[in-house]
A and B are shown apart, each in its own frame.
Chain A
Amino acid sequence: MTGKLAHRLHIHRGYSCHTRKNGGGSERFNQDELRLASKWTIDMPGADKIFGIHGTALALRSQRLNMLASNIANAGTPGYKARDLDFEKAMAMTDQGKSMSQIMATSSGYRTPLQPSMDGNTVELSTEQTLFAENAMQYRTTLSFLESRVNGIKRALKGE
């Protein structure tokens, strides 16, 4: 932790990774979001009779995995703000017939750092790694629910 802090102090003094003055970042982000929102939609399997809630849960877990991977990827970028998905809120929204991109945009938020760093980066690797591992485990759990569902149907079809 002290090493990291020392490094961030260095960043602030300008000896290490430099921050690019990027005024138009948030604006471009919104444009990209709009552009992708139109073509990136997944039919929510919320009302699916076979997979029940697990299909939706798996899709959301996969999205959260991407978000946490983005945070880990940007662990050394000055000024990057870590984001995360409120899984419970997102699950509650799936019944309302919204597209995946709408759900992602409204149920995600920014992480509050335990110990803010001087370069404006809010990624804390210990937090992100723990949540990433937790989410991967939950993905596997959902997958095993789906697997047993598929196996059950298979058995019923074969008439064993």
Chain B
Amino acid sequence: MSGPMNIFDISGRAMSANLTRLNTTASNLANARTVYSNEEDAFRSLKPVFQTAYDRAGVATVDVAEVVQSDMKPVKKHDPHNPLADEQGYVWEAGVDEAAELVDMLETARHYQNNVQVMQTAKSLILETIRMSK
């Protein structure tokens, strides 16, 4: 990046990080309660790793360093009538905590909104400065 980080870099990058988090939450919720015929293939929830990106003193934004798979165990269920069931009649349900995902979703949306608000305030201040004494 050229030049020092400005307020649009700070909020903009934080917004894309939060959007990535919202996307992983959406993927997790979309795959919740899906069943698989063995434990290895079963879906496990995806989580973004947030990492602070520092610029100069006190100025920092956030990036998604990587998206990792959580260590949550798929749930083993006895369902012999399911066509995906194995010889013993077991299926594995995706390792997703739906309640936690919903809480995550709300928090992410709030963070995103806050960053939008910061950007709006900064934009209006900059425009007021430009239009000074006109």
Contacts and interface: CB of A to CB of B under 8 A. Distances in A.
Contacts of A32: 54-56
Interface residues of B, number: 51
Contacts of B34: none
A154 B50 contact: no
A73 B49 contact: no
A135 to B, nearest CB: 9
B82 interface: no
Interface of A: 3-4, 6-7, 10, 14-20, 22, 25, 28-29, 32-33, 36-37, 40, 58, 65-67, 69-70, 72-80, 83-85, 101, 104-105, 108, 125, 129, 132-133, 136, 139-140, 143, 146-147, 150-151, 154
29 contacts: A3-B103, A14-B70, A18-B47, A20-B49, A20-B66, A36-B56, A40-B4, A58-B129, A65-B7, A66-B5, A66-B58, A67-B58, A69-B7, A72-B115, A73-B61, A73-B115, A74-B52, A74-B60, A75-B111, A77-B50, A79-B52, A83-B58, A84-B58, A85-B58, A104-B57, A108-B57, A129-B114, A143-B129, A147-B132
Contact of B62 (A3, A6, A74, A154): A74
B133 to A, nearest CB: 4
Contacts of A37: 56
B41 interface: no
For the complex of A and B, 5 pairs with smallest distance between CB atoms = A73-B14, A150-B133, A83-B58, A67-B58, A77-B50
- DSSP majority for the A interface? helix
Contacts of B21: 17, 76
B118 interface: yes
A25 to B, nearest CB: 8
Contacts of A75: 111, 114
A73 B60 contact: yes
A16 B25 CA distance: 10
Contacts of B47: 15-18
Contacts of A84: 58
Given A36-B4, A132-B118, A15 B59 contact: no
A77 B51 contact: yes
